[in-house]
A and B are shown apart, each in its own frame.
Chain A
Amino acid sequence: MALNYFQPLFEVIRDKDRCIKCQACARQCSNEVHKYDAELDMMISDSQTCVDCQRCVTICPTRALKITENNNQFRTNANWSQQTMTEVYRQAESGGVLLSSMGNPKPYPVYWDKILLNASQVTNPPIDPLREPMESRVFLGKKPRNVSFNEDGSVNTKVTPTLELSTPIMFSAMSYGSISRNAHESLARAATELGIYYNTGEGGLHKDFYQYGPNTIVQVASGRFGVFKDYLETGAAIEIKMGQGAKPGIGGHLPGQKILEDVSRTRMIPMGTDAISPAPHHDIYSIEDLRQLVYSLKEATEYKKPVIVKIAAVHNVAAIASGIARSGADIIAIDGYRGGTGAAPTRIRDNVGIPIELALASVDQRLRDEGIRNEVSVVVAGSIRSSSDVVKAIALGADAVYIGTAALLALGCHLCRTCHTGKCNWGIATQRDDLVKRLNPEIGYKRLVNLVHAWDHEIKEMMGGMGINSIEALRGNRLMLRGIGLTDKELEILGIQHAGQ
C-alpha cells in the first residue's frame, strides 16, 4: 500500500436542505470537486481537489455551500507544524520543488498595521474634501532642482517626461500569460477610465490592447518577451524589471502548455515552448550596465518616455536604489516580499526579501540623505491592501503605489493561491477558454474603477483629516505617522516616533 495519502486541505459542506441540485457548482468547478449523481439524484462533493477558491460558494443560488478547513489533525507540535510535515511528505513523494502562487502568507509582521495616522485638532483645521479642493493627482518622474525663467516670465526649465496619475495608484505588472486576456482587458480599460496606468508585465502587449497604450506601462524583463519597437513606442512608460518581490533573485518560468497561439504571438516565441525568464538580465552586472539599458530604451523612444526600474525589496535595497537613481531611471519601483506571483518556488516566496514598509523608509531616507530624492519618483508595491496602506506609504515617502493582489481581488480572486495550476475558476490566472470567459471585462473593469474610486475618496478623507490637501504635501511627511508596538530599531528604520510621543 502506498503511503501517499494526503487529507484534503478543505472540507466542502453542503446543506442538503438548501441544495436544489441545480448543479451550478458542478458546472463551475474546474477542480471537479462537485458532481451530480443521477442514480442517487444527489450532489456529491469530493473535497480532495478543493482549493477553497469560493467560486461555488459565491454562485450557489440557495447558499447551500460552505468550505472550511479540514480539521483532521496531526499530533500538535510547536516545531513541526502540520503544514511543514505535509510538505516533507510531498517532497519525499515527488522529489520536486514546492510551488506556490500569490504573496507570502506567513505570519510575519505587517508594519502597515503597526502604524497609525494623525488627525488635526484645534490648532490646525481638518479639511472637508467634499467642500474644499483636494488634490490627489501626482506626477511621476524627475523633478527639476530649480526653476528658471525667461525674460518674458515664461518658464525656461526643461522638464523630462513624466507620468500623470489622477490618484497615486497603479496596477502592478501582471503578464498576459500569467493572467488571462480578459483580466488584462479589465485592467487596461480601468486604467484608461481612471487616468492611471496598468503594466504589461513581461508577457508583451496583445495587439488588441495597443489602443490602451497611453495608459500602459510596458515592461522589459530578462526574457525580453514581446519587446520590439512598436511595443516600446506604444507604452506611456517603460519598466525594466530587475526583480520581483515574490521571488527575488530568480527568474520566471511559464510552461509550454500555456503558450498557446495568442500568448505565443504576443510573447514572440514559438507555440508550446517554455517561456523562461533568466534570473539576471544577462547584459546587466552593474549599475553602469543598467544605465546602458536605461539609455538604450530612452534612445529608442526618443527620450519621450520615463523609464522605471523595478527591483525586489532586499537587504541592501537603499544602496541599490541609490545606484538606480544615478542610472538615469526616472522612477524606482520597489516590490516587497508580500508581492504576488503567478507561480514561485514556495521556499523563495516565503523566505526571501524584506517588508516593503522598511524598504521604502530606508530608500526614501537614503535618497534624501544623498540629495537625490528629486531625481526619481518612488513607487512601492508588495501588498498594498487598502487606502490607509496607500496613505501610510506616501507619508513614508512613496510617490505612488502599485496594486496587484487588490486588483485581482476586485476581479473575483479569492486568494486560493493555486494560480500555478492554470485552472483559475474566476477566469483570471488561466488560459483555458472556458474559464477565461468567466471574467467579463465589462464587469471586471467597472469593479476595478469602483475600487480605485473608493480608495481615492478614502485617501482624500484621511488627508483632509490631517489638514493636508495634496499628495505632494503628504509625501514623506512622517510626522503624520506613529508606530504602535514597535521596537526602537523598527521605529528608527521607519523614521517615525512611537504613538504617544
Chain B
Amino acid sequence: MKKVYVNEEWCLACHLCEYYCAAANSGAENMIKAFANGNKPIPRIRVEEGSKINFAVQCRHCDDPICVKSCITGALSKKDGIISCDETRCVGCYTCVLTCPYGCIVTSENSKVIQKCDLCLKNNNGDPACVKGCPNKAIVLEER
C-alpha cells in the first residue's frame, strides 16, 4: 500500500502543494478557474513553516484511525487503505477534528462539512496532486 510521506529536509515552504491540492479538489477545470473571482478553495494539505524546517501535513491514513472510530455519523470510513469522508453524511460536528492527532481534518467557514485528503482518489485517479506538484520531492507517494 503506497502512502504519502514527507521529507522535511527538502520542503521549501513554497506552498505549491496547497494550491495544487485545493485546485484538484475544487472540481474546477484548472487552477485559474479554481481561484477565479476571489475564490479561495481550501487545501487538504497544509505546510508548516519553521525557521529552518518546513513540511507539509496531510492525512496519514492511519492503520488504526481514531477519526473513523470517533465519527458520530459514519461518514468517515476506511476502504482499501484510504480514509475518506462521505460528505452527504457529515454534519460538521468536528469530532474528527477533536481526535485526529495530526490536525489533518480540514474545516472551513464556507463549508459546513469537513474535508480531508483522500489521496486524490475522487479527482485524480489516486495520483495525488500534491505529490505531482511538489518541485523538490518533499512529498512522495511510496511503498515502504
Contacts and interface: CB of A to CB of B under 8 A. Distances in A.
Direct contact of A and B (CB under 8 A): yes
Interface of A: 17-18, 20-24, 27-28, 59, 61-62, 433-434, 437-438, 440, 442-443
Given A440-B137, A442-B137, A20 B13 contact: no
Interface in B1-20: 9-10, 12-16, 19-20
Contact of A61 (B9, B10, B31, B137): B31
A329 B9 CA distance: 43
Contacts of B135: 59
Contacts of B14: 24, 27-28, 59
Interface of B: 9-10, 12-16, 19-20, 23, 31-32, 34-35, 52, 133, 135-138
Contacts of B138: 440
Given A443-B136, A443-B137, A437 B10 contact: yes
Contact of B31 (A20, A59, A443): A20
B15 A27 contact: yes
A17 B135 CA distance: 24
Ranked 6 nearest A-B pairs via Cβ: A20-B35, A22-B19, A440-B10, A440-B136, A24-B14, A440-B137
A23 B16 CA distance: 9
Contacts of A434: 12, 52
A172 B30 CA distance: 42
B69 to A, nearest CB: 36
A23 B138 CA distance: 19
A433 B9 CA distance: 11
Nearest to A58: B135
Contacts of A17: 32
13 contacts: A20-B19, A23-B15, A24-B14, A27-B13, A28-B12, A28-B14, A59-B135, A434-B12, A437-B12, A438-B12, A440-B10, A440-B138, A442-B10
Contacts of B19: 20, 22, 24, 61
A61 B15 contact: no
B52 A433 contact: yes
A24 B16 contact: yes
Contacts of B9: 437
B14 to A, nearest CB: 5
A27 B136 CA distance: 14
